[in-house]
């Protein structure tokens, strides 16, 4: 098989990765509640298991990707993701699902830093902004189709889409093993790869980057805050719909179909939100990036708070759509801003450190939010999640902007 052009490979990865994850996770919320019988705290603990794996292994796998091969790391991560999905659907018990979630978190560490570092090396750091926006739109389109596939299969069996997605993810890893190029990456020389010194040097270079660029400290802090926020919203939104609202009776439209429709429209809105953001925000311009992220984060807080407090089914849907659209629009801006402040040699390592901060936030915030959901209510837990996100607004206002508003520089700091 001939190697794919890098841009085409990225586009296919973005669409297919999102499609298969959507097939899986369009039904796992109902699978966890109705078939496994999990309570709010157990739902959060599953996410905590996933993020614990990410926290423990993000940096080691990022270092390995920088020393050996980003392509190999991505391919292995895809394979392990498929195995993890199969484990999640293997048996409807808390401990089996938790084991699958831990394995899924481990698999994600092989992909998270490596895929962004691979893209920057293959197409150039100056081109990653448009590539991220294009990848985000293709990802939302793939996820949109995945919802319909997952929900349709779930009408036959809740575990059928999980098993098919897991097997397809393994097949996808074989496809990229044969077709993914790697021409821009320069690994550590073969004689130095097996030494701990080489890996230690790469890790030290990553730490050095962070210390020398205060803007990275700010962006990493935001990653932690986002992690604390997202864990509650991601795990408790569907249980909130299932337990606190009566779904309107429209023919044979069962809750699984309602939730699928809500997800599908949310993805269409995310595509629109990303297109609008791409038109009006240039993430390579620091002032635009900062202002855009402040506005978007405020809308995300507003949408989440409205979702938590609303007692009307239709209004709750509108609020969660607003929060989701804002969250999706922020992603390409944040990733571009972060990447443009990194050196190629340790790019995957530093990106993995950013993902590790997100995982740390989820581990720290998840059990607290889950406990509130169990002891008080799901509304209180989701409202607390909105409150958790508010410090991100302050941090964004403190990220330095150069006077000439040129491309984001490594000297950008925290401060006015």
pLDDT digits (tens, 9 = 90+) for 362-397: 888 888 998 998 899 999 999 999 999 999 999 998
Q: What is the rounded CA–CA span in Å between residue 35 and residue 100?
A: 16
Question: Taking Cα atoms as reference points, which of 390, 289, 286 lies closest to residue 330?
Answer: 289
pTM for the full model?
A: 0.72
Per-chain mean pLDDT for the chain? 85
Instruction: Compute the C-alpha angle 353/354/359, nearest 5°.
Output: 90
Q: What is the pLDDT of residue 73?
A: 93
The residue among 181 and 400 whose pLDDT is bigger is 181
Radius of gyration of the chain measured on its C-alpha atoms: 21
Dump pLDDT digits (tens) for 306-348. Answer: 999 999 999 999 999 999 999 989 988 988 888 877 776 667 7
Q: Report the alpha-carbon distance of residue 48 to residue 244 in Å, rounded.
A: 24
Contacts of residue 342, Cβ cutoff 8 Å, sequence gap at least 6: 120, 209, 350, 351
What local confidence, expressed as pLDDT, does residue 204 receive?
67
The per-residue pLDDT for range 161-193, each reduced to its tens digit, is 999 999 999 999 999 999 999 888 776 555 444
Where along the chain do its domains lie? 6-398
Q: How far apart are CA 212 and CA 198, in angstroms?
A: 21
Q: Does domain 6-398 have CATH number 1.20.1250.20?
A: yes
- pLDDT value at position 253? 56
- CA of residue 7 relative to chain centroid, distance: 21
Closest alpha carbon to 337 in 255, 253, 400, 251 = 400
């Amino acid at each position: 098989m001939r190697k794919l052009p890098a841009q085409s490979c990225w586009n296919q990865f973005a669409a297919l990765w999102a499609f298969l994850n959507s097939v899986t996770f369009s039904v796992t919320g109902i699978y966890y509640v109705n078939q496994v019988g999990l309570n709010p705290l157990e739902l959060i603990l599953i996410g905590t298991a996933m993020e614990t794996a990410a926290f423990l292994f993000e940096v080691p796998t990022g270092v390995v990707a920088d020393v050996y091969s980003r392509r190999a790391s991505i391919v292995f991560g895809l394979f392990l993701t498929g195995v993890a999905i199969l484990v999640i659907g293997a048996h409807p018990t808390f401990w089996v699902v938790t084991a699958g979630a831990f394995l899924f978190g481990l698999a994600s560490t092989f992909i998270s830093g490596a895929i962004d570092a691979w893209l920057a090396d293959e197409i150039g750091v100056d081109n990653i902004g448009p590539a991220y926006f294009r990848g985000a739109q293709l990802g939302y389109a793939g996820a949109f189709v995945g919802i319909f596939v997952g929900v349709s299969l779930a009408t036959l069996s809740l575990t059928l889409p999980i098993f098919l997605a897991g097997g397809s993810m393994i097949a996808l890893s074989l496809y990229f093993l044969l077709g993914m190029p790697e021409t821009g990456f320069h690994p550590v020389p073969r004689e130095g790869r097996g030494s701990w010194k080489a890996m230690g040097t790469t890790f030290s270079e990553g730490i050095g980057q962070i210390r020398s660029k205060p803007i990275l400290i700010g962006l990493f802090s935001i990653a932690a805050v986002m992690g604390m926020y997202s864990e509650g919203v991601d795990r408790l939104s569907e249980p909130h719909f299932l337990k606190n609202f009566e779904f309107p009776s429209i023919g044979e439209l069962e809750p699984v179909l309602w939730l699928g429709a809500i997800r599908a429209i949310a993805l269409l809105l995310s595509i629109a939100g990303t297109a609008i953001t791409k038109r009006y925000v240039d993430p390579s311009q620091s002032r635009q990036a900062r202002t855009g992220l402040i506005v978007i984060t405020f809308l995300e807080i507003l949408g989440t708070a409205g979702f938590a407090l609303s007692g009307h089914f239709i209004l709750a849907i509108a609020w969660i759509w607003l929060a989701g659209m804002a969250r999706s629009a922020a992603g390409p801006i944040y990733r571009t801003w972060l990447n443009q402040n990194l050196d190629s040699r340790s790019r995957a390592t530093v990106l993995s450190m950013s993902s590790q901060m997100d995982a740390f936030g989820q581990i720290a915030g998840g059990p607290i939010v889950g406990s509130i959901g169990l002891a008080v209510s799901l509304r209180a837990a989701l409202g607390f999640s909105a409150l958790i996100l508010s410090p991100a607004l302050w941090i964004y206002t403190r990220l330095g902007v150069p006077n000439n508003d040129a491309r984001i520089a490594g000297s950008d700091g925290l401060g006015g």
